[in-house]
Amino acid sequence: MPSVRDTGSRANIVGARHARVLAELGRFLTVGGVATLVAFILFNALVHGFSTGHLAVLSDRPILAYVLANTVGMVISYRGARSWAFRDRPPRQADGGRSAYVLINVVTMSLPVACLMISRDVLGLEDPLSDNISANVIGLALGLGARFYLFRRFVFRRPTGVRSHPDAAG
């Protein structure tokens, strides 16, 4: 039978783990927010222009514009995640996790791209508000949870010797 001290210790470990996960989540969302803002501005500039009266560079190629803008966002996101959001998780792969990071981003980018394609090709909506709701709100929300889990699990893994208790999962 566990003593009161053992029970309190276990509760402290669980509480510390939750605090660590929440801190990582907060940093992850901040980094992602900056990267998303950059990608959002680039996407809208490429597809819709900035009300300059000139046709936007990729007004007829919104999927390409989305992929290009989010590739820039991905670079920003990786640098922020590696150096800040998951700074206490040293690289475990020779490339610092870049290849897994890119693979996860490419796979999860298919969600907002699919939303944008449905909005444009199925529903016939081509205005800036529809593009942004489909790709940058609905699509982003669908991919966010998957990326957080996959990045923690495969890219920014906690070193195996760091766990302070057998029940503390990282």
Q: When comparing pLDDT for 82 and 63, which is higher?
A: 63
Residue 153 placed within a domain: yes
pLDDT of residue 162: 53
Q: Report whether pLDDT(54) > 60.
A: yes
* Residue at 13 is within a domain: no
Integer Cα distance of 134 and 125 in angstroms = 10
Of 32, 35, 46, 34, whose CA–CA distance to 116 is shortest? 46
Work out the pLDDT band at 124, boundaries 50, 70, 90.
Answer: very high
- Is residue 1, in this structure, part of any structural domain at all? no
- 70: part of which helix (H) or strand (E)? helix 62-80
pLDDT score for 50: 74
pLDDT category at 168 given cuts 50, 70, 90 is: very low
3 within a domain of the structure (yes/no):
no
> What is residue 95's DSSP assignment?
T
What mean pLDDT comes out for the span 15-20? 82
What does the alpha-carbon distance between residue 27 and residue 33 come to, in Å, rounded to a whole number? 10
Residue 121 predicted with pLDDT over 90: yes
Inside any domain, residue 16? no
With bands split at pLDDT 50, 70 and 90, how would you rate the model's confidence at 165? very low
pTM: 0.73
Domain that holds residue 78: 28-158
Domain-located, residue 6: no
Give the start-end residues of each E strand in the chain: none
Is 164 within a domain? Answer: no
Distance of CA 119 to the CA centre of its chain: 22
The mean per-residue pLDDT over the stretch 95-118 comes to: 89
Query: Based on the structure, what is the number of domains in the chain?
Result: 1
Quick check: is 97 in a domain?
A: yes
